[in-house]
A = this chain, B = another copy of it.
């Protein structure tokens, strides 16, 4: 027996039905927000990812050399490919440009629940505007997608990296020293943050004030702290406006969380994350914000922001919440009573299909009883029995598989069965 590669998955018809349904629902929400779908290749030149995330990323991704000696990599995420596409071909498009995507991504990671080596992401980028209403709309979109697919419990947290950076400046923390702190902030390890700040010569009072701000939900407190830093003040005023739009126009509930740092180096300004608490350790299902990547990719500078959703985790969270996925049924299963009935049965089957009804037929000539059992296994709503006596009356027998009731109907009336 040949094994599936470690960390990857096969999806059964039942699983695919769920996944297609949720994907279609997400796609439709993207579209109602005026976003349009694009697609990029499954692999890119490795450089695209190392220039963005540093050489260390090579350890975590599927990189390889092709037969022409090119260094390639299966994409670990989709923002870099989308921005490459934008710089190559879409820079002249009217702004803002609102793009969304679905795509599989790949990471060489230790497989566990909610973490796979091949996983699916949905996401979007908005290019060409940095207005508060644009950011509010972007965050609302992420939130509405998750609400529209039917997730009950989600938590949206919003922060701002420019403000966080200004907070560091107030304490005169050097860029190199910030790195260690950022890791601790990311994990909300406040005791450790306190100790590290002490080591940097910052006294207990100041350290506590800083840690307090990382946890506050009051923008005024933050304003008092960063006062005098004009960039940060403007960011904070925009931040407050974004929050107002979210409440007043989009009916979105959120939590301020200044300790959001995002793993990626190219974010700046607004950042946000959405969690599905039911997922436990791997609860983050969405992350996004404003970022700078276009110049790095040698395009003309313009504001960019976006987010990515972990498609697999959304499905997992819906399953945990016992979401009632719609299960498609087979409309008709056609059973020829004997071999002579096959040709006529295929004709009737094909007629129903052309009218759009999902219709299957016994292809093994195995008789009524076994065929009924098989039809049940396919979740057939109705079976149609075709025998010589019925055919003499130009009729067939239709059986409702839920009630077991049967009736004779004229073949010419069969199209009426399709509402």
Residues in A lying within 8 Å of B, measured CB to CB: 1-6, 8-13, 16-17, 19-20, 28, 31-34, 36-45, 47-48, 51, 59, 62, 64-68, 70, 72, 74, 84-85, 87-90, 94-96, 98-99, 104, 106, 108, 118, 126, 128-129, 131, 133-134, 136-137, 140, 144, 244-245, 248-251, 297-299, 328, 330, 342-343, 346-347, 349-350, 353, 356-361, 363-365, 373-374, 377-378
Assembly of this chain: how many copies? 2
Contact of A12 among B17, B38, B364 (CB under 8 A): B38
**Once the chains bind, are B95 and A364 in contact (CB under 8 Å)?**
yes
CA gap between A195 and B34 in the complex, in Å: 64
Q: Which residues of B contact A1 (CB under 8 A)?
A: 87-88, 297-299
Q: Which residues of B contact A353 (CB under 8 A)?
A: 32-33, 144
**Once the chains bind, are A64 and B67 in contact (CB under 8 Å)?**
no
Q: Given A4-B84, A137-B346, A297-B2, A364 and B248 touching (CB < 8 A)? A: no
Listed by A's residue number, 28 A-B pairs whose Cβ atoms lie within 8 Å are: A2-B45, A2-B47, A2-B297, A4-B44, A4-B88, A5-B43, A9-B41, A10-B88, A13-B37, A16-B39, A17-B36, A28-B356, A31-B328, A33-B360, A42-B118, A43-B74, A43-B118, A59-B67, A64-B64, A133-B342, A133-B363, A134-B363, A136-B346, A140-B350, A144-B353, A245-B343, A250-B346, A251-B350
CA gap between A248 and B95 in the complex, in Å: 56
Q: Which 9 A-B pairs have the closest CB atoms?
A: A34-B360, A64-B64, A249-B346, A13-B36, A8-B41, A134-B363, A32-B353, A11-B39, A94-B377
CA gap between A13 and B31 in the complex, in Å: 11
Q: Which residues of B contact A85 (CB under 8 A)?
A: 4, 10
Least Cβ–Cβ distance between A3 and chain B, in angstroms: 7
**Once the chains bind, are B378 and A34 in contact (CB under 8 Å)?**
yes
**Once the chains bind, are B9 and A37 in contact (CB under 8 Å)?**
no
**Once the chains bind, are A32 and B358 in contact (CB under 8 Å)?**
yes
Least Cβ–Cβ distance between A180 and chain B, in angstroms: 28
Least Cβ–Cβ distance between A8 and chain B, in angstroms: 4
**Once the chains bind, are A31 and B358 in contact (CB under 8 Å)?**
yes
Least Cβ–Cβ distance between A29 and chain B, in angstroms: 8
CA gap between A243 and B31 in the complex, in Å: 45
